[in-house]
Amino acid sequence: MMGPAHSLSGAAAWLGVGAAAAAAGHTMPWPVLLAGALICAGAALAPDLDHKAATISRAFGPLSRWLCEIVDKLSYAVYKSTRKPGDPRRSGGHRTLTHTWLWAVLIGAGTSVLAITGGRWAVLVILFVHLVLAIEGLLWRATRGSSADVLVWLLAATSAWIIAGVLDKPGNGADWLFTAPGQEYLWLGLPIVLGALVHDIGDALTVSGCPILWPIPIGRKRWYPVGPPGPMRFRAGSWVELRVLMPAFMVLGGVGGAAALNVI
């Protein structure tokens, strides 16, 4: 799928988690619902860090373009070193390492560790990075062109500062899930894991499929492209994505948000 659909699906997924939490009697404070939805929307773009033409490759200027090149080479090296006889030969690393459940878990766990060991500045950096990606994904038409990058960064930095300040207030959610001293922001890894997995599931619906299950081998393949039967797949950017899935994500996100806030 394309960037906007990925971001919408990520936000909708976290709002759905909020609805499930409310139904289970563990309602999220609204700042957690908001922050988690934005982080998840941004994290849903992150697996494309292996693709030079993806939204994330230009989100942070030369730094993100350089990082995309590194991740692409790393992913390709891992693919070549772990492929089985049934896996096809390829020339790049797109839709390999960063599109697996293992990558999602490791990135989420690493973020949680960073959040509880790095203090407030680490939380601000995590929020800033994912808010930039969320803005790029959700407001993609308004963020075209290099002249908009600085405005996006300023908006993300300001929003990260405000959201962190709100979360830090008692009862607003820093300790929503983990209450032990020093573990207040341990939950920040959850929307990142969810966003990455939602991205992978979205890509699995497309023609190429997605090797979500790596490194678990399936038959003669270790990089098995998981996906539905052929007739149920679509091409990225097709009318199915733009006219069916994106509106559906908006509706599901709205319903999930309302349920998470106990409005319905």
pLDDT tens per residue, range 223-239: 999 999 888 888 877 88
Give all strands (DSSP E) within the chain, no chain letters. Answer: none
pLDDT at 51: 87
In a domain, 100, yes or no: yes
Q: Any idea what DSSP says for residue 140?
A: G
pTM above 0.85, yes or no: yes
pLDDT at 4: 87
pLDDT at 151: 87
pLDDT at 134: 94
In a domain, 20, yes or no: no
CA distance 150 to 161: 17
In a domain, 229, yes or no: yes
Low-confidence ranges of the chain (pLDDT < 70): 140-147
In a domain, 176, yes or no: yes
Q: What is the pLDDT of residues 87-144, one digit of tens each?
A: 999 888 899 999 999 999 999 999 999 999 998 999 999 999 999 999 998 886 555 5
pLDDT at 150: 84
Q: How many domains does the chain have?
A: 1
In a domain, 222, yes or no: yes
Domain that holds residue 199: 2-14+27-261
In a domain, 67, yes or no: yes
